[in-house]
Amino acid sequence: MKKILLLMISCFLLSTMFVNAQRYAVIDTKYILNKMPEYIQANKQIQLISEQWQKEIDDKQAALDQMYKNYAAEQVMLSDELKNKREAELFNKEKEVRDLQKKRFGYDGDVFKERQRLIKPIQDKVYNAIQKIAVEKAYDFVLDKSEGITVIFVDPKLDKSDDVLRVLGIKP
């Protein structure tokens, strides 16, 4: 009986040693990215491009709305053939606006591609800095508290975001 009890206590102590031996860190990628001038610049550039494309879509939508108003006003005076022709024009114009909106802002659209082109290299740079710190300090895992994972409380001494900024050459 004593051997079993001693074995159980030994297993418990060993398991708690392994749990305590895990090293981890917490970072905030949103905080890190917002401290990086190139990220801020890339976001501004994407915002400007998005605004230009949205204006282009808005202009086309305004022209389409005007076409609808004109059609509604003239509809009673048009022959069936002209009505069908105008309705086809309206349908094509509406499809053109929807397609442009999808091309610019849809999944895998131009905004997504611009974001990938401008921001992904910056995110990769941050990831490499995090990986470097994780290897140097022998962390078993690194948690990102900015999005996705809900972290209720984090001891500030575990937050290594400033270390990542230093590796990137940015003053925290």
Alpha helices by DSSP H, listed for 75-143, are 80-105, 110-136
Burial class (CB in 10 A: 0-12, 13-18, 19+), 55: exposed
pTM of the entire structure? 0.69
User: What's the confidence (pLDDT) of residue 120?
Assistant: 94
Do residues 132 and 167 lie in contact, with contact meaning Cβ atoms separated by under 8 Å? Answer: yes
Cα distance between residue 52 and residue 2, in whole Å: 78
What's the confidence (pLDDT) of residue 102?
95
The C-alpha atoms of residue 76 and residue 89 are separated, in whole angstroms, by: 17
Higher pLDDT residue, 149 or 99?
99
Angle at 110 between CA 107 and CA 112, to 5 degrees: 55
Beta-bridged to residue 67, according to DSSP, are none
160 contacts 43 by C-beta, under 8 angstroms: no
| Contact call for residues 122 and 39 (beta carbons, < 8 A) | yes
Question: Are residues 165 and 122 in contact, defined by beta-carbon separation less than 8 angstroms?
Answer: no
Q: At what angle do helices 80-105 and 37-74 cross, to 10 degrees?
A: 170
112 pLDDT above the threshold of 70? yes
The average pLDDT across 124-139 equals 87
pLDDT band for position 152 (cuts 50, 70, 90)? very low
Measure the CA–CA gap between 2 and 18, rounded to whole angstroms. 24
pLDDT surpasses 60 at 88: yes
Give the pLDDT band (50/70/90) at residue 139: confident
Q: Which helix (H) or strand (E) holds 29?
A: helix 29-34
Residue that is written with structure tokens 């209720």 in the block? 152
User: Per-residue pLDDT for 142 more than 90?
Assistant: no
For residues 124 and 128, what is the distance between their CA atoms, to the nearest angstrom?
6
Q: What's the pLDDT tens digit per position in 12-38?
A: 555 555 555 577 888 888 999 999 999
